[in-house]
Each structure stands twice: as C-alpha cells, then as structure tokens.
C-alpha cells in the first residue's frame, strides 16, 4: 500500500506501508521546478511558510546572493536558515556545489528541507539541526561563501567560528537590523582580519493599492555587511593583545 503527498510544485512524497500500517519507505519524486529562471529574487509567496519562522525577503535576498559571489561549484554555508530562502537561492546557482543550512529550531530545519525539495535542489542541500557556532563542527569541508541570517545573541562567536570554516578570499555576508549588531559585526570582522569590508543600508518600500491609488509602504531598514576572509586571527589571541595593550 502506498500514499502520495505533494510537497510543493517541484516534488511528490511517496510513502510505502506494510499491511499493518508500518512505514516501510519514503521516496521523493521530483516534478517540474517551481522557479524556472536563473535570476535570484524568488517571490516570497512561492515558499512554503510556517508561522514564527523568519525569512529573508526577496529584494534583500537578491542583494545577499549577489554579495556572496557564488559560482556553479561553490560550497555555501547558511547559518540561521529559517524558511530556507537563501539556502534555495544559493543552491540554484551552485548547481555543482553544496549548501549547508544550519538552524537551531527543528521546525526551521524541516521547513528548509521541504523548500529545498520544492525548488528541486534537495540533492545539494545538507540541513543541520543545531546551534551555531557548535553546529559548525558538523560541516566537514571548507566553504567558499557564508551567510549569517540569525545569531541568537551569539553573533561574535558565530562570526569567529564561520571564519575558521571559510576559505581565504571567501565572502561572509551578514544582515542586521540593529545598530548594535552592525557595530559588533564590524568590530569582530576587523579583529579577525577580514578585508574589503562594506556596509549597505537597504530600505525597501512596496506598493499597496488603496481606494485613492497606490501608496508605498516602507519596511524596516536592513544592514548588509560583507567582508572577505583574510588570514583569520584566533579570537583568544586578539583578546590577549588587547589585555597587553591595556596593561601597557
């Protein structure tokens, strides 16, 4: 006995049962892709959503993807994957590469996995349930680019851990809402030896139709910070240098 369940416009789940109702196997059958284009910026509404799970919105996501500087064979790290929108966009570009998606919320892990299947990139996405930076130990290889979309209050440690996984010359992209996180990111990147660091403030306004016409509704500003990995300095060494300077 079997059952079919559509996971999205790109895949079907086939579940095979025994006579006693025990699940014997789960198979994923790919159908047509949900996004047949090569350009980033998938409309938000095409992703499966779960209440309470954040998502990097399409305009900001398009900028993030451009700043990651991906190739077809890139290995990418997405920390705080949430809905999996950045993971999906990165995997669509890195067709011969691999994307590691990390999230501490089990619901986000499952949602990222389902959206990867929905857009036909499940074969090159590895979803890891865990909290960064500790979960970075589950990433076996060096990566070419990394995105930090969520930090859970541990931004400094996550940046340091990501630096150790990032190839020299690889791009680290971080989005932030608060000025405090922007300042912390810039300070940490400078201490770790990142180069070519830049900050971009993005304000997106979307048209909304009313009885009087179309008005523009602005979203909260987002800061996108980008840095290129140099020769990363260990954080404990930087702390020792600072203490020595203070004593001097």
- Cβ proximity of 36 and 56 under 8 Å: no
- Cβ proximity of 111 and 100 under 8 Å: no
Task: Give φ, ψ of 175 to 5 degrees.
Answer: -110, 145
Tell the burial category of 15 from Cβ atoms under 10 Å away from its Cβ (0-12, 13-18, 19+).
Answer: middle
pLDDT confidence tier of residue 38, bands split at 50, 70 and 90: confident
For residue range 107-162, list pLDDT tens digits in order.
999 999 999 999 999 999 999 999 999 999 999 989 999 999 988 889 999 999 99
- Cβ proximity of 81 and 101 under 8 Å: yes
Q: Is the pLDDT of residue 48 over 60?
A: yes
Q: Is the pLDDT of residue 26 over 60?
A: no
pTM of the model: 0.81
Place of tokens 């909260």: 220
How is the chain split among helix, strand and coil, in percent rounded to 5?
Answer: 35, 35, 35
| CATH class (in words) of the domain with range 39-247 | alpha beta
Using a pLDDT cut of 90, give the percent of the chain over it. Answer: 74
Give start-end residues of each CATH 3.40.50.150 domain in the chain.
39-247
* β partners of residue 222: 202
State how far the alpha carbon of 243 is from the alpha carbons of 151, 193, 235, 240, 247, in Å: 27, 18, 12, 5, 6
- Cβ proximity of 26 and 2 under 8 Å: no
Q: In the prediction, which pLDDT does 244 show?
A: 44
State how far the alpha carbon of 201 is from the alpha carbons of 93, 142, 143, in Å: 25, 29, 26
**Cβ–Cβ contacts within 10 Å for residue 29, how many?**
10
Tell the burial category of 180 from Cβ atoms under 10 Å away from its Cβ (0-12, 13-18, 19+).
Answer: exposed
- Cβ proximity of 225 and 199 under 8 Å: yes
């Amino acid at each position: 006995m079997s059952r079919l369940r559509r996971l999205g416009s790109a895949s079907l789940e086939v579940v095979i049962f025994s006579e006693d109702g025990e699940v014997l196997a789960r198979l994923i059958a790919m159908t047509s892709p949900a996004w047949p284009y090569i350009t980033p910026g998938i409309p938000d509404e095409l992703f499966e959503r779960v209440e309470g799970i954040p998502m990097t919105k399409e305009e900001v996501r398009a900028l993030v993807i451009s700043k990651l500087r991906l190739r077809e064979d890139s290995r990418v790290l997405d920390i705080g994957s949430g809905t999996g929108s950045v993971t999906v966009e990165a995997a669509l570009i890195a067709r011969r590469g691999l994307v590691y998606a990390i999230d501490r919320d089990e619901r986000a892990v499952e949602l990222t996995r389902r959206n990867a299947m929905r857009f036909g990139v499940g074969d090159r996405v590895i979803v890891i349930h865990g909290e960064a930076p500790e979960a970075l130990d589950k990433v076996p290889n060096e990566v070419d680019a990394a995105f930090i979309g969520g930090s859970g209050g541990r931004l400094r440690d996550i940046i340091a851990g990501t630096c150790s996984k990032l190839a020299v010359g690889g791009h680290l992209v971080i989005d932030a809402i608060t000025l405090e996180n922007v300042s912390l990111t810039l300070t940490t990147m400078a201490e770790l030896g990142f180069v070519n660091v830049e900050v971009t403030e993005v304000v997106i306004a979307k048209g909304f139709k009313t009885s009087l016409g179309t008005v523009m509704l602005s979203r909260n500003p987002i800061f996108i910070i980008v840095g290129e990995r140099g020769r990363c300095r260990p954080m404990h060494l930087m702390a020792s240098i600072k203490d020595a300077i203070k004593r001097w």
